[in-house]
């Protein structure tokens, strides 16, 4: 079966036969536009002038805009090895170990999740629990894998205690590492999974439903950014897998065809 086909994908991510029949009906969604003209209308979390002075210490605050690691961060100029070593020396915030990221360092696709869970904390690798296994199957359906052409990272590099949502100061603390990873990778596209990743990368408070499924741009760069559902959410709400497939298919088309 064609690995890029809808039926193949739906089987990979575990949709039952009746659901496949249901979802194999033509999508009512309009075909999203290619990343040539990314959407720059995303509402910022706080008005522009206030943002620089925003306090990032409380959970209600959004993270700052992407940090200019070339001038402001201790990780500026670090290579992969130095960056990973630097992260290992930071406060673990109660986690067992940092979860730096994993995958191909010449990847065309960068996938960004939220934060490590229990299994990731145990093994030091992102997305290795149930949600990670689903993510691997989803990526395989578009011929991508962390062994080959995909890098996987999280917004937060340390597991938040009790799996709670990461706090703004935790996000801000780990942001330079993610920024440097993006600089080192220079991926052709970024796939952000779930609300925390989407809102952090875009510095937005828009709900996920409004952000997903259309080409955006990673602020401060020309890297196309697509938002989709987090696989942990898809495990709880399998009826949304069909929309996630629409997102992945869009990403696959872009990565295969190249910029228009």
By CB under 6 A, residue 120 contacts ligand URA: yes
Q: Please choose, from the candidates 220, 217, 207, the residue with its C-alpha nearest in 3D space to the C-alpha of residue 254.
A: 217
Pick the binder of ligand URA from 100, 127, 158, 218 (CB under 6 A). Answer: 127
Query: Which residue from 98, 117, 187, 213 is in contact with ligand URA, where contact means CB under 6 A?
Result: 117
What's the alpha-carbon Rg for the chain, to the nearest Å? 18
114 binds ligand URA (CB under 6 A): yes
Question: What is the C-alpha to C-alpha distance for residues 189 and 260, in angstroms, rounded to an integer?
Answer: 14
Tokens of 101: 């990221």
| Options 103, 113, 160, 213; binder of ligand URA; rule CB under 6 A | 113
- Residues 176 and 74 sit within 8 Å (Cβ to Cβ): yes
In what order do the strands lie in the sheet containing 102-103?
A: 102-103, 150-154, 109-113, 189-193, 224-228, 216-217
Q: Is 131 in the site for ligand URA (CB under 6 A)?
A: yes
Q: Which is nearer to ligand URA, 35 or 171 (CB)?
A: 171
Give the number of C-alpha atoms closer than 13 A to the C-alpha of residue 244, restricted to the C-beta side. 29
| Residue 101 lies near ligand URA (rule: CB under 6 A) | no
Task: List phi, psi (to 5°) of 35.
Answer: -75, 10
Q: Is 198 in the site for ligand URA (CB under 6 A)?
A: no
Which residue, 129, 238, 144, is CA-closest to 191?
Answer: 144
Query: How many angstroms separate the CA atoms of 73 and 37, rounded?
Result: 31
> Would you say 38 or 153 has its CB closer to ligand URA?
153
**Minimum distance from residue 100 beta carbon to ligand URA (Å):** 11
Rounded to a whole number of angstroms, the minimum distance from the CB of residue 258 to ligand URA is 29
Number of residues that bind ligand URA (CB under 6 A): 13
Could you tell me which stretch among 53-61, 122-130, 209-217, 246-254 binds ligand URA (CB under 6 A)?
122-130
The answer to whether residue 229 forms part of the interface with ligand URA (CB under 6 A) is no
- Report the interface residues with ligand URA, using CB under 6 A: 113-117, 120, 126-127, 129, 131-132, 154, 232
């Amino acid at each position: 079966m064609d690995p890029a086909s809808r039926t193949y994908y739906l089987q990979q991510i575990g949709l039952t036969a009746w659901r496949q029949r249901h979802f194999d009906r033509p999508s009512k969604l309009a075909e999203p536009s290619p990343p040539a003209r990314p959407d720059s209308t995303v509402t910022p979390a706080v008005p522009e002038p206030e943002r620089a002075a925003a306090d990032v210490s409380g959970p209600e605050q959004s993270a700052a805009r992407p940090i200019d690691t070339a001038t402001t961060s201790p990780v500026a100029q670090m290579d992969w090895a130095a960056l990973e070593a630097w992260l290992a020396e930071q406060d673990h915030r109660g986690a067992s170990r940092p979860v730096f990221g994993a995958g191909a360092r010449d990847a065309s696709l960068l996938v960004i999740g939220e934060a490590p869970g229990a299994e990731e904390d145990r093994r030091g690798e992102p997305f290795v629990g149930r949600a990670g296994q689903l993510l691997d199957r989803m990526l395989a359906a578009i011929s991508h894998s962390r062994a080959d052409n995909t890098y996987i990272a999280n917004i937060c590099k340390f597991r938040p205690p009790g799996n709670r949502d990461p706090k703004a100061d935790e996000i801000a603390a780990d942001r330079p590492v993610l920024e440097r990873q993006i600089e080192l990778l220079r991926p052709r596209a970024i796939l952000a999974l779930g609300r925390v990743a989407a809102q952090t990368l875009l510095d937005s408070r828009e709900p996920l439903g409004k952000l997903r499924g259309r080409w955006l741009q990673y602020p401060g760069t020309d890297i196309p950014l697509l938002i989709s559902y987090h696989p942990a959410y898809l495990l709880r709400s399998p009826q949304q897998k069909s929309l996630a497939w629409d997102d992945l298919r869009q990403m696959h088309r872009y990565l295969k065809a190249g910029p228009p």
